[in-house]
């Protein structure tokens, strides 16, 4: 049975059509979508009995309401995009709405990335990923937008790329969830499903009405390499969009935790991108990604030359000189009013990366990165 969300009094309105089918605790239909509750007594009786709706549908509708907000709240927007994406990749509507829905999400990804790029990178390392497959696709879309901007791609091409990032794993959502907690080696069936998922995703997207050949090609080729050792077709001439997505996909996956391993810290991940993935100089995107996110990406805990410890707050003038927010003084005391340090100053240079899981340092993500809510421009 699908996950159910129990409705609360403030989530229902008298004399307004219900936006979802309402169920009982066993999933049996109580009230159809569009039904109007007209009296307080009827509403109280229903609430006492227990009114439930499909949790995915509830979160998807909630996300639409967030998109209409007049105050820019990056955390709510991030959650809303992921909630809507989760619904879309599960529902896979074939009524002609799928392409437009994904493009609308790509627009929201662009807005989020433009307004909160450092927060976006820090979130990949520091925030819990309750629905990893969806969070991963979102993270790849954010990185792809940043990288495509650095590469000078125009708005239409960046939108296509974001659509591809958001949908590239539509064929393996359930498998990704199970693999996230799997400690055993892949079974032959799982390996085959992984190898085929780019082609399966492209087929699903076509069934949902996607006709953009560049979008479909990027999805099909996001695991191909110039050496011909990728999959599913082992080609040596993947397009730029596929190569760019691959770089973002690998980096995001490396800094995300698994049941069988701890996440690689972002500094090690950028080193891997530059040294290993960037060996073929014909593929510019691994090195470009390192330049974009930095050697010490936002969200990385670091030790400074002055013995202070802090978290990278935002990218700096160069890949090696981020701006750091101090969390512990040189004496190891927590700092309530965190100062900013520009690590381009040799006295405050980064001298070491601190492992988050081995430290006792608390990072208040919302306090550090969200700050004051911003009005959305009209």
The residue among 255 and 210 whose pLDDT is bigger is: 210
Instruction: Kindly state whether residues 161 and 84 are assigned to the same domain.
Output: yes
The token duo for 105 is 């999400």
Residue 132 has pLDDT above 50, yes or no: yes
pLDDT at 1: 53
- Average pLDDT of every residue of the chain: 88
- Token output for 229: 């050792």
Please check whether residues 88 and 232 belong to one and the same domain. yes
Is 215 among the domain residues? yes
Q: Is residue 17 part of a domain?
A: yes
**What is the DSSP code string of 112-172?**
HHHH-HHHHHHHHHHS--TTHHHHHHHHHHHHHHHHHHHHT--HHHHHHHHHHHHHTTGGG
Do 241 and 92 sit in the same domain of this protein?
yes
- Write the pLDDT tens digit of every residue in 256-308: 765 555 667 778 888 888 777 767 788 999 999 999 999 999 999 999 999 99
Instruction: Say what the pLDDT of residue 22 is.
Output: 86
Cα–Cα dist 85/91, whole Å: 10
Q: State yes or no: pLDDT of 325 exceeds 90.
A: yes
The reply to whether 250 and 201 lie within a common domain is yes
Do 287 and 308 have their domain in common? no
Domain-terminating residue out of 272, 293, 314: 293
Map tokens 């999400």 to a residue. Answer: 105
The verdict on residue 135 lying in a domain is yes
pLDDT at 169: 97
Backbone φ and ψ for 302, nearest 5 degrees, come out as -140, 155
* 200-238 pLDDT per residue, tens: 999 999 999 999 999 999 999 999 999 999 999 999 999
CA–CA distance from 337 to each of 304, 309, 325 (Å)?
18, 14, 10
What tens digit of pLDDT does each residue of 330-365 get?
Answer: 998 888 777 999 999 999 999 999 988 777 788 899
Quote the pLDDT of residue 375: 36
pLDDT at 378: 26
pLDDT at res. 374: 42
Contact criterion met (CB below 8 Å) for 255 and 269: yes
User: Which runs of consecutive H residues, i.e. helices, occur in 255-284?
Assistant: 266-272
Residue 169 sits in the same domain as residue 307: no
Residue numbers of the domain that contains 314:
301-362
Co-location of 251 and 305 in the same domain: no
pLDDT over 90 (residue 327): yes
pLDDT at residue 369 greater than cutoff 70: yes
Q: What is the dihedral of CA 335, 356, 299, 263, to 10 degrees?
A: -170
Question: 240, 259, 293 — which closes off a domain?
Answer: 293
Asked if the structure places residue 320 within a domain, the reply is: yes
Does one domain contain both 13 and 139? no
Q: Based on the fold, state whether residues 220 and 161 are members of the same structural domain.
A: yes
Residue 86: CATH number of its domain:
1.10.3210.10
What's the structural domain count of the chain?
A: 3
Higher pLDDT, 176 or 263: 176
Helix (H) or strand (E) holding 359: none
Where a domain ends, among 293, 328, 350? 293
pLDDT value, residue 373: 45
pLDDT at 189: 94
Amino acid 185: pLDDT: 87
Task: Pick the closest to residue 284 from 165, 154, 151 (CA basis).
Answer: 151
Does one domain contain both 281 and 306? no
Global model pTM greater than 0.95: no
For tokens 């064929």, the residue is 171
- pLDDT for 241: 98
Whether the bond into 235 is cis, omega within 30 of 0:
no
Which range is most confident: 33-47, 156-170, 262-276, 358-372?
Answer: 156-170
Residues 337 and 255 in one domain: no
Band (50; pLDDT cuts 50, 70, 90): confident
Please tell me whether residues 91 and 50 are part of one structural domain: no
Domain membership of residue 39 (yes or no) is yes
Residue 111 included in any domain:
yes
Does 190 fall in a domain? yes
Q: What is the pLDDT of residue 182?
A: 79
Indicate whether 340 belongs to any domain.
yes
């Amino acid at each position: 049975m699908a996950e159910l969300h129990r409705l609360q009094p403030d989530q229902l309105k008298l004399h307004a059509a219900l936006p979802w089918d309402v169920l009982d605790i066993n999933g049996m239909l109580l009230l159809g979508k569009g039904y109007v509750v007209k009296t307080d007594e009827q509403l109280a009786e229903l609430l006492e009995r227990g009114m439930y709706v499909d949790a995915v549908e509830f979160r998807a509708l909630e996300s639409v309401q967030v998109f209409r907000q007049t105050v820019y709240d990056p955390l709510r927007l991030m959650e809303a995009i992921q909630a809507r994406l989760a619904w879309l990749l599960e529902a896979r509507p074939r009524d002609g709405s799928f392409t437009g829905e994904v493009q609308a999400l790509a627009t929201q990804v662009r807005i989020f990335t433009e307004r909160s790029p450092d927060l976006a990178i820090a979130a990949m390392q520091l925030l819990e990923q309750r629905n990893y497959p969806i969070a991963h696709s979102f993270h790849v879309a954010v990185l792809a937008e940043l990288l495509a901007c650095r590469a000078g791609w125009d708005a239409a091409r960046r939108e296509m790329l974001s659509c591809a990032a958001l949908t590239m794993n539509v064929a393996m959502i359930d498998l990704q969830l199970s693999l996230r907690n799997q400690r055993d080696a892949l079974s032959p069936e799982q390996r085959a499903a992984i190898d085929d998922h780019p082609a399966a995703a492209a087929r699903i997207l076509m069934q949902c009405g996607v006709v953009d050949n560049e979008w479909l090609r990027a999805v099909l080729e996001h695991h191909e390499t110039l050496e011909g050792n990728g999959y599913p077709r082992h080609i040596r001439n993947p397009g730029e969009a596929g190569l760019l997505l691959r770089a973002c996909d690998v980096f995001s996956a490396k800094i995300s935790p698994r049941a069988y391993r701890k996440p690689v810290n972002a500094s090690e991940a950028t080193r891997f991108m530059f040294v290993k993935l960037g060996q073929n100089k014909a593929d510019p995107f691994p090195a470009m990604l390192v330049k974009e996110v930095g050697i010490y990406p936002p969200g990385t805990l670091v030790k400074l030359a002055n013995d202070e410890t802090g978290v990278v707050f935002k990218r700096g003038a160069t890949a090696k000189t981020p701006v750091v927010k101090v969390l512990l003084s040189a004496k190891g005391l927590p700092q309530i009013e965190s100062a900013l340090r520009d690590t381009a100053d040799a006295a405050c240079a980064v001298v070491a990366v601190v492992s988050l899981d081995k430290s006792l340092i608390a990072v208040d993500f919302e306090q550090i990165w969200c700050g004051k809510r911003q009005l959305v421009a009209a």
